[in-house]
Amino acid sequence: MQSYTGPEFFKGHGTENDFVVLPDPRGELELTPDRVRALCDRRRGLGGDGVLRVVPTALLDEPAPGDVPSGAWFMDYRNADGSVAEMCGNGVRVFARYLVEAGLVSAGEFVVGTRAGARTVGVGPQGRVTVDMGAAVVRGHSSVTVDGYAMSALSVDLGNPHLVCLTGEVSELDLSVRPGYDPELFPQGVNIELVEPLDGERIRMRVYERGVGETRSCGTGTVAATAAVVRAAGEERGSRIVLVPGGVVEVEVTPETSTLTGPAELVAHGRLDAAWWSCPEGTPLTVSGVDR
């Protein structure tokens, strides 16, 4: 008989960028790449674009950035392929929603720790969450190859790396294969956004995420895309509504910082099979207790 007494999990998404949330209040979960891949596997696991481990900064097993208060909750983010990333804009909104729903913080404004530094989040009514994402730093120009087409791209840093291509109709391009990019400039990989300006207020975006593949949304990507579009318009500040396959978010950029606002949903809660969690890699993941 299996015992579903392993780690607790939640499942959530922000504009269909979906995550497994693993509460780890005592800092004792060993999140190996194999476990991350199994959790994110859409057939043998729970399925997700990434994992969000919820751990007190004081119990983190790596040095936290200097601006993260030791009393803050830290978002230990992993991509679906098991790799570690610095920041996740949709993930941090889901993370914040979890903290409020679990009663770990009060709704309103609070700080979350990430590998990109401290991020102030505001959880409002109906699950809308705003995050101060910090400055979108433009690093220069590069190029990518998407679906056989060479395109110029703007390198934008949101704590994690992005290459933004301003282009025409984005829906026709094939993103099932990783776009080509300069590996010398991005030895750790890069997230690639295809962006179609629709009018002065709205842009459409698709994304190929480092460590995942094409996803339905990418919060840091929407900020990078807005920064690129605002810059292309010859402005240094501006806001855009960003249409992604999984929904809509709002972004504002200034020279000093940027904000991302959008939905964050929690859809399930349960416990992993304890035997799976402690057993050798390769054993199929089983779950139970999905109650919502």
Ligand X SMILES: N[C@@H](CCC[C@H](N)C(=O)O)C(=O)O
**Angle, CA of 27, 29 and 31, to the nearest 5°:** 125
Measured from the CB atom, is 187 or 280 closer to ligand X? 187
Minimum separation from the CB atom of position 162 to ligand X (A): 8
235 labelled binding-site residue: no
Minimum separation from the CB atom of position 131 to ligand X (A): 10
What are the φ/ψ torsions at residue 75 (nearest 5 degrees)? -90, 105
Annotated catalytic residue 218: yes
Strand 202-209 relative to strand 238-244: parallel, antiparallel, unpaired? parallel
Measured from the CB atom, is 167 or 215 closer to ligand X? 215
Write down the residue that tokens 């593949």 correspond to: 213
- Written as six digits, the tokens of 32 are 């190996």
Give how many residues touch ligand X by CB under 6 A: 17
Measured from the CB atom, is 42 or 278 closer to ligand X? 42
Q: x/- string (CB under 6 A) for ligand X, residues 125-164? A: -----------------------------------x----
Question: How many residues in the chain?
Answer: 292
Give the whole-angstrom CA distance, residue 208 versus residue 185: 17
With CB under 6 A as the contact rule, the residue among 218, 225, 243, 287 that binds ligand X is 218
With CB under 6 A as the contact rule, the residue among 13, 35, 206, 210 that binds ligand X is 210
Measured from the CB atom, is 45 or 221 closer to ligand X? 221
Annotated catalytic residue 40: no
Give yes or no for a contact between 262 and 128, defined as CB atoms under 8 angstroms apart: yes
Q: Does 259 bind ligand X (CB under 6 A)?
A: no
With CB under 6 A as the contact rule, the residue among 191, 226, 258, 259 that binds ligand X is 191
Q: Does 79 bind ligand X (CB under 6 A)?
A: yes
- Residue ranges at the known binding site for substrate: 17, 79, 89-90, 160, 191, 209-210, 219-220
- Residue ranges at the known binding site: 17, 79, 89-90, 160, 191, 209-210, 219-220
Question: Footprint of ligand X on this chain (CB under 6 A)?
Answer: 17, 50, 79, 85, 88-91, 160, 191, 209-212, 218-220
